[in-house]
Structure 1
Amino acid sequence: MRRASGGATPPMPTAAEALRAALPWLRAAGIADPARDARRLLAHAMAIAPDRLTLALPRPLSAAEAAAFEAALAARGQRQPVSQITGSRAFWGRSFRVTRDTLDPRPETETLVAEALSAPFVRLLDLGTGTGCILLSCLAERPHATGVGIDASAAALAVARENAALLGLSDRADLRLGDWFAGLEGRFDLIVSNPPYIAAAELPALAPEVRDWEPMLALSPGGDGLAAYRAIAAGVQAHLAPGGRLLLEIGATQADAVLALLAAAGFSDMRVLPDLDGRDRVVAARNPC
């Protein structure tokens, strides 16, 4: 950093200088896309929208902004996800609050939302709602629908309730603490879930951002990763309306196993939907009863 003559306090770096200095540091920390992450973290430190950062690059950082950027970079160097550092993640065109108590909403899950919105529904159930991103995205697009979101984590539900309030959906989203279908009454014409599905043997290979920072309760049920699908298959018929739809996010190698569980539960009209990368992502089924 340049030092002014006469021992004066050196000038603060411009945003552009701080951004350039951050790139090799993040690269050395093993960050896959240091330029993208540095821009998002700098915008967060400057309390501006990421798409406004370019306009702000010429100006010097304030001391508070520089300290905030340094803290954010340190956290990212520990492989904390950017969404947890900034506290939010974009999903289906909206911003969702994210904490260490919730899964980070991922673009792949938008495959499920797109399929949910491909046909009408009035009453929706989201099992393992987390941030509420699936439930709330669907309700926001269907103003006459209502929904119930279930989660076994009280901390995750607090985040989902905050997101519902921020999106103006608290009156249509009933968020409950629970274990799958326990204590749930009535039938729904759409049931969705992105349950924990990572097998125990797959956990060591996960990226540190996932393995070390996201809640294990939402990542993996242990064993072969299919426990949640077994629980859903066992209870779904009692809560899915005749002709109602079931949509389940799956791991890329789990389609056959999940299809077999649903076939044993009485489903016959089933499809496997790919995500944008062509990997199996969602199993869709319709209740024949």
Structure 2
Amino acid sequence: MSSKDGLTLGDLYRGLREQFAAAGVPEPEVSARRIAAEASGTSAAEVALAPQTPMTVRMVAHADAMATRRVAGEPLQYVLGSWGFRMLDLAVDSRALIPRPETEVVAGTAIDWLNGRARHRHPAGLNAADLGTGCGAIALSIANEVPDARVFATDSSAHALALAAANLAGLGSAASRVSLHQGNWFEALAGVQDPHADGRAAGPLRGRLDLVVSNPPYVADGEVLAPDIDDWEPHEALYAGPDGLSALRAIIGDARGWLAPGGLLVLELGATQAPAATAMAIARGYEDVRIECDLAGTDRVLVASRPHAEPDELELSAAVEWLRAGGFVVAPTDTLCGVMARYADTEAVARVCEAKERPRTEPMPILVSGLAQADELVELSPAARVLAEQHWPGGLTLVAKRRGGADPLHGRETLGVRAPALGWLRWLIDDVGPVTGTSANRHGLPTPADASEAAALLAARQGETKAPGQVIRGRAAGETASTVVDVTGDKPVILRAGAVPAVALEFPEIPTETGT
């Protein structure tokens, strides 16, 4: 219909609204208003404010074409070809996920933190990585709103990166601080050098990121999504394995080594994934782990930091390899200097007993990265799990029934487990598995606070000329020894007083499910 036939913008809007309502399109008024505005070259507000604006044949044809696509179920954002995200208007299509309000909260959390950190930054500037960038919404927003940030945007999809590149072309001068990299998560950044090396020592980007942010896939395989999502948006950006956690697990695991000390991890989560993601972050040795809500009040954003003060990463890497090879390591812990060997390696544990001159029949505590590792070793009642959730990581050792029967070395049916407070130690344990948590001394004698000194004394007692195994240098924090609690019965029994006061160790009431 041409403009001489008297069709106005108001008529077009009303006709589209009726068409969409009849076809069962969700929120028909929104789709009608946005399509009418796009077809007429006006704004959504003008559809209501200037309904008498005459329409041309071309405008009506454009509206009809978009309406056909919308009635067929195509998302409104793809039909329009662009969508607003924070301060940007981004090109969007089926090559990448639609930018949503939840992700604006994620971007805002990252941007606010970067702008706060920028006041105390290294003069060379800030490094941020946006993993799985899609159309580039988060990466471009950071570059646009954080003037000193250099942003590395990655995606495994060449098609998504092409869309991000199109959006980058319209960013203006800030685009010079964004680079696009194809590959799976951090693999895309392998070999990338720190661009701020002129202001500090040259080197690879790994270990120098101030921020890692991502809206990764987090839908479980087989989960039923709305047709306008499942039929149109790219599945590789939606689905993440049987439990929906595979991408989160990979990013949380690897980001720890890519972040600089004090760097921040910000991840978008599924509505029910906050407990699992929090546990993974704590087990991986992050600190200040918290969950933030989206605008609807849903737990949506994981925020976690890499600790500032940690041992040398080369020492940590050497310790991991040595433990995997069956050796043992002397290291400072949150209590005393300890001797660590992989608990799964019975021969390595036996060598720890020999080094300490400790009877093999005497059980030693086992350090775990968190509840997931503890569950592999011992049986914890629901009430005991609550105690662990309340006091781990920290000074609480739980003595529980060992899975798989008696311990092969000390022969007892129970095992004491603890998640240490030090983030780097949980990181190491998360890599190699549970380790012994016994003191680095001859059995029953005082333990030096310095790890190198403790290792040297162990060596001297065995007639060696150098420290045994590997040493992670540093001094133990010297905090109060852990409280040891037997949780095999109906009530907790304190076997040794320590860091956690007795008043905090009552079993909580756990509601039982009853039939109707």
TM-score calculated relative to the size of structure 2: 0.52
Q: Secondary structure at the match of 1:244?
A: strand
For structure 2, the residue ranges without an aligned partner over 5 or more in a row are: 119-125, 191-203, 311-516
CA distance in 1, matches of 2:165, 2:176: 11
How far off is 1:114 after superposition?
1.8
Q: Is the 8 A contact 1:131 1:159 kept in 2?
A: yes
Q: Is the 8 A contact 1:81 1:209 kept in 2?
A: yes
> Any idea what the Cα deviations from partners look like across 1:209-248, whole Å, max 9, x if unmatched?
2111111111112311101011112211221000000000
Q: Is the 8 A contact 2:143 2:175 kept in 1?
A: no
> Any idea what the Cα deviations from partners look like across 1:82-103, whole Å, max 9, x if unmatched?
1111111111122111011011
The aligned amino acid for 1:26 is F
Map of 1:5 onto structure 2: none
Residues 1:242 and 2:247 aligned together: no
> Any idea what the Cα deviations from partners look like across 1:52-77, whole Å, max 9, x if unmatched?
33354213321111111111111111
Aligned counterpart in structure 1 of residue 217 of structure 2, from 172, 196, 216: 196
Aligned counterpart in structure 2 of residue 149 of structure 1, from 149, 153, 163: 153
Which 4+ runs in 1 deviate beyond 6 A?
Answer: none
Map of 1:259 onto structure 2: 278
Q: Comparing both chains, which one has the higher relative contact order based on Cα–Cα distances under 8 Å and sequence gaps of 6 or more?
A: 1
Q: Is the 8 A contact 1:41 1:73 kept in 2?
A: yes
Mapping for residues 49-68 of structure 1, pairs under 5 Å: 49-68=43-62
Q: Secondary structure at the match of 1:105?
A: coil
CA distance in 1, matches of 2:7, 2:152: 49
Q: Which has the larger radius of gyration?
A: 2
CA distance in 2, matches of 1:59, 1:52: 9
How far off is 1:12 after superposition?
5.2
Q: Is the 8 A contact 2:256 2:286 kept in 1?
A: no
CA distance in 1, matches of 2:176, 2:87: 21
Map of 1:6 onto structure 2: none
> Taking every aligned residue pair, what percent have the same amino acid on both sides?
41
Mapping for residues 1-289 of structure 1, pairs under 5 Å: 11=5, 13-119=7-113, 120=117, 122-168=126-172, 169-182=174-187, 183-184=189-190, 185-186=204-205, 187-202=208-223, 204=224, 206-288=225-307, 289=310
The aligned amino acid for 1:190 is L
Q: Is the 8 A contact 1:129 1:135 kept in 2?
A: yes
CA distance in 1, matches of 2:87, 2:252: 31
The CA RMSD over aligned residues, in Å, is 1.9
Count of matched residue positions in the alignment of Structure 1 and Structure 2? 281
CA distance in 2, matches of 1:59, 1:106: 31
How far off is 1:21 after superposition?
1.6
Q: Secondary structure at the match of 1:159?
A: helix
Q: Is the 8 A contact 1:12 1:63 kept in 2?
A: no
For the structure 1 residues 233 and 14, does the alpha-carbon distance in structure 2 shift closer, same or farther, using more than 3 Å as the test? Answer: same
CA distance in 1, matches of 2:228, 2:87: 23
How far off is 1:15 after superposition?
1.9
Q: Is the 8 A contact 2:13 2:47 kept in 1?
A: no
CA distance in 2, matches of 1:189, 1:10: 60
